[in-house]
Each structure stands twice: as structure tokens, then as C-alpha cells.
Amino acid sequence: MLVADDSAAARALIRGILEADPGLEVVGQATDGLEAVALAGRLEPDVITMDVEMPGVDGLEATRQIMATVPRPIVLVSAVFAPDLDNSFRALEAGAVTLLEKPNGPGSPAFAREAAELVATVKLMAGVKLVRRSAPRSAASPPAGIVPADRRTDPLRVVAIAASTGGPPAIAHILRALPADWSVPVLVVQHIGAGFDVGLVRYLDDACLLPVSLARPGREVSGGGVHICPAEQHLGVTADRRLTVTPGEPIEGYRPSANQLFRSVAAAYGPRAAGVVLTGMGRDGADGLFALRQAGGFAIAQDQATSTVYGMPRQALLRGATDEVLPVEDIAAALVARAAGPGATE
């Protein structure tokens, strides 16, 4: 592992956390982005933990240079304040694989959880294949046969999207390819740490032509806006098609829960819903997407080739919860085709 951070205390903390696990070894430490780029080329670490705000060459620029020259899985370890937050999401777009909040010291009540999350994430990312980002494809020309003919009898009235590791750039890819006159609401569950949800909204709002906001309880689900589930909350829809945002306990280990979103959308919209499971670790979303498909909705999973982590999509596929398995660049086109299909006006 390579640890890049301009703070000596932060480097020591992260190194101590990682090397407390017998399966991990820190082979180098960088004090700024320029040194991180040099050490990445010389040491070829399995994973790099990267601070975002550093003097000179910052973590964003270092990520760009490393991904262009000696691609390695990069775990961003960031504060949750601007400009760290905005640059963190730009670094995800540039190829970093995931984003964690910088851990507090051993005296913090959250230290054990944060340390365990960092170790688990670094171990998982060590085995991640790097995905080459492709340019967004126009949503005007969907690939032939992308939507099964026998499942196109109802107009699309809502899209629910769920993602985890690698999700923000994948979500942005889809939203960016939707047309400016897109009139179907999009509900998004992204597994993300507390404090990062505001940055996610800003990042996605900048990335697409549609208005993006944090979901608000009681808001009517209408129009072409994008509603992001707040961190540590659950997002759903009522029978009269209004948003619910609730704290609650984790559902099947996840908060926010993709299963909760998909199940509520299935109950409220049935065949007028589309569900999309994107890149991420774990199996959240598989059962909920199955319920949505059973209700007649259109169910999509991202394919393995374009997924940073092929966990959630794979579980949806194994569950029999998908109509289509698509590369991320084809998903917007599939949604547009469904929205424009037979019976698309009420």
C-alpha cells in the first residue's frame, strides 16, 4: 500500500490502521501529490490511499496523473468540507475507485468503525480491476432489442437507481446522457458516508442537465428531477407517490437501502417503474429489484466490464431480477426507449 497525505499525523494514523492487519503492508508514504505519482510508478503498490487537499499537486491532479500513467486502485481519504468534497468527486470521475472520510484518532468513539472500514475497503480494492472510462453515448439511439417487447406496454413514470462502490461516476454517466426534456423523476440510493451526500448532489447537478437535489419527505414524485437519498436515511415512495425519507435502522445491513427503495417503487408504480442496479460491493438491491420486476417494472443491471465492483449487479443477475444486463453507456438509452415506447402518454 502507498499512503499519500501532507499531514505526518494523518500518514502515521492511516499506516498504523493498515499495518495492524497482518495481511497489509505499507510500502511507501508520500507527502504530496507529486511524490505520490513518483512512488506509484516506482513501487507499483496494490492500492493507494490519497488525501485530496495537499499543497502543490493535490490529490485530484495526482489521481489524474496516476490513472494516465500507472493506473492503480486509489481510495480517496477526504474531509467532508469544500473544497475537499468537490475535488473528491472530481477525483472519482478521474478514476479513483471509492471515497472514505478521513478517520479520527483512537480517542474517537467512531475510531473502531472507521479503522475497520478503511482496512476492509483497501483489501477489497486490492483486487479491483480498473475500468476504462468511455465517453457518454447519446440517448437518442438505443441499441436494438434493448427493451423486451412484451414488457413495453406501460409508460415509464419513475426510475430508481442504486449504487455503491464506483457509483457516483456511473450515475453521472447515466444522468448526463438523459435529454434536457427528460420528464421522468429519478430516485437514487448511493451508499455513501455521512457528509458526502451534499457533495454528491453538487457533483451530479454539475454533471447533467437535470435538477438534482437531496430527497425531501412529502415531496410529490413528478417531473424530471433527480432526488438523492440523504446519507444514513432510507428513501421510499408512498402509495400516493410522495417521497419518504426516514432514519430507521439498517435494512438487511444497509442504510440507505436499495431494497427499500425498489420495493416501495414497485408497490407504488408497478409496470410503470424502472429499476437500475449499478456497481458496488454486497448484495443490496437484488431482492428489491426482483420485486420490481415481478410487479411488471423494467429491471436493469450494469454489466461486469463497466462495473468497478461487480457485486450488487451480479447478485441481481443471480437472483433472476434483471431484464437486461447493460454497459453503463447503454443504460440511459434503454430508459429513454422505455419512456418513449408504446403507451408512453397518459
- Please give the residue that has the higher pLDDT: either 140 or 214: 214
Query: Based on the number of CB atoms within 10 Å of its own CB, is 283 exposed (0-12), middle (13-18) or buried (19 or more)?
Result: buried
- The tens digit of pLDDT for each residue in 142-151 reads 444 444 444 4
Q: Given this model, what pLDDT does residue 137 score?
A: 46
To which H or E segment does residue 254 belong?
none
For residue 132, pLDDT over 70 is answered with no
Q: For the chain, where are the E strands, in sequence order?
A: 2-4, 28-30, 48-50, 74-78, 98-101, 158-163, 186-190, 212-214, 226-228, 234-237, 243-246, 273-277, 298-302, 324-326
Q: Given this model, what pLDDT does residue 280 score?
A: 93
For residue 202, pLDDT over 80 is answered with yes
Mean pLDDT of 36-46: 96
- The tens digit of pLDDT for each residue in 222-251 reads 989 999 999 999 999 999 999 999 998 999
Q: Given this model, what pLDDT does residue 140 score?
A: 41
- The tens digit of pLDDT for each residue in 1-14 reads 999 999 999 999 99
- Please give the residue that has the higher pLDDT: either 82 or 262: 262
Instruction: Report d(CA 179, CA 243) in Å as an integer.
Output: 24
Instruction: Report d(CA 224, CA 47) in Å as an integer.
Output: 39
- Please give the residue that has the higher pLDDT: either 307 or 155: 307
Instruction: Report d(CA 284, CA 293) in Å as an integer.
Output: 16
Q: What are the structural domains, with CATH classification, of the chain?
A: 2-125 (3.40.50.2300), 149-339 (3.40.50.180)
For residue 153, pLDDT over 60 is answered with no
Q: Given this model, what pLDDT does residue 145 score?
A: 41
**Residues tagged active-site:** 164, 191, 284
Mean pLDDT of the chain: 90
Mean pLDDT of 72-85: 84
Q: Given this model, what pLDDT does residue 131 score?
A: 60
CB contact set of 106 (below 8 Å; sequence gap of 6+): none
Reported as a pLDDT band with limits 50, 70 and 90, residue 208 is very high
- The tens digit of pLDDT for each residue in 108-128 reads 898 999 999 999 999 989 887
Could you give the percent of the chain with pLDDT greater than 70? 91
- The tens digit of pLDDT for each residue in 318-342 reads 999 999 999 999 999 999 999 976 5
Q: Given this model, what pLDDT does residue 134 score?
A: 47
Residue 152 CA from chain centroid, whole number: 28
Q: Given this model, what pLDDT does residue 141 score?
A: 43
For residue 152, pLDDT over 80 is answered with no
For residue 176, pLDDT over 80 is answered with yes
Reported as a pLDDT band with limits 50, 70 and 90, residue 85 is confident
C-beta separation of 214 from 228 below 8 A: yes
Of 5-9, 127-131, 209-213, 293-297, the one with minimum mean pLDDT is 127-131
To which H or E segment does residue 23 belong?
none
For residue 175, pLDDT over 90 is answered with yes
Residue among 159, 207, 165 at smallest CA distance from 187: 159
For residue 26, pLDDT over 80 is answered with yes
Could you give the percent of the chain with pLDDT greater than 90? 79
Task: Extract the C-alpha cell encoding 295.
Answer: 410487479
For residue 309, pLDDT over 50 is answered with yes
Q: Given this model, what pLDDT does residue 283 score?
A: 94
C-beta separation of 125 from 316 below 8 A: no
C-beta separation of 254 from 280 below 8 A: no
Q: Given this model, what pLDDT does residue 346 score?
A: 39
Q: Given this model, what pLDDT does residue 86 score?
A: 87
